[in-house]
Amino acid sequence: MLKRVLIYGVAFGSLSASMVLINFFNQLYMHRNALSAIPTLSNIFILCFGVYFLVKQIILESTENAQAESNRTLKEKPSKNAVVESKNKPLTLGKILFASLTMSLIAALCNVAAYKHIQTNQPERFQHFKAMQIGAIDAYIAKDVTLTTIVKKQEKRELAISNLEEKLKVGTYASFEIQMYLSLGMIITLLVYIAKKK
């Protein structure tokens, strides 16, 4: 099962990471329309599909193994004193959750690797993204009528840029991605498991 989890994690994680690269390389973050939302929404749907297919495959394989073992046991005629032992342990929700959360973690780390690649190896693209965010901060502060003095505007700008710097760090991005992916993975796993057990 571990091999399948790794394959699914890397496959769907790579697809998800490509959305991060597309967002930066095509500068989709510059537009406030449906097109700019495609990479984010795609990441969510890609993970959901990945977890769904993984859980479905694990449950299907477990069912097939149980049926095959049951048929083999029926064909064999054990003696009265023989003890029949099952080679396959029963599939539990805990095992499925562990598999799906591991896959979600791998996919999230692929996204973090793509973000780190942009930040380290494509600094001009990352600086363009950062400059756009700072421009948005300046535009918001300029429209804020509650800030009556230049000093207040400057203080608010410095605080906003400081928060932006923190949010753009790889560690902060990784924390957000991992939390989001693990939450989504858990929700989809529970939904699929409940649907399959009905």
DSSP 108-169: HHHHHHHHHHHHHH-HHHHHHHHHHHHHHHHHHHHH-TT--SHHHHHHHHHHHHHHHHHHTS
Q: Rounded to an integer, what distance in angstroms lies between the CA atom of residue 36 and that of residue 29? A: 6
**Model pLDDT, residue 30:** 78
pLDDT exceeding 70 applies to what percent of the chain?
Answer: 92
pTM for the model: 0.81
Q: How confident is the model at residue 2 (pLDDT cuts 50, 70, 90)?
A: confident
Tokens of 15: 């697809």
Instruction: Provide the 8-state DSSP code for 33.
Output: S
**Model pLDDT, residue 63:** 81
Nearest to 65 by CA among 75, 55, 53, 73: 73
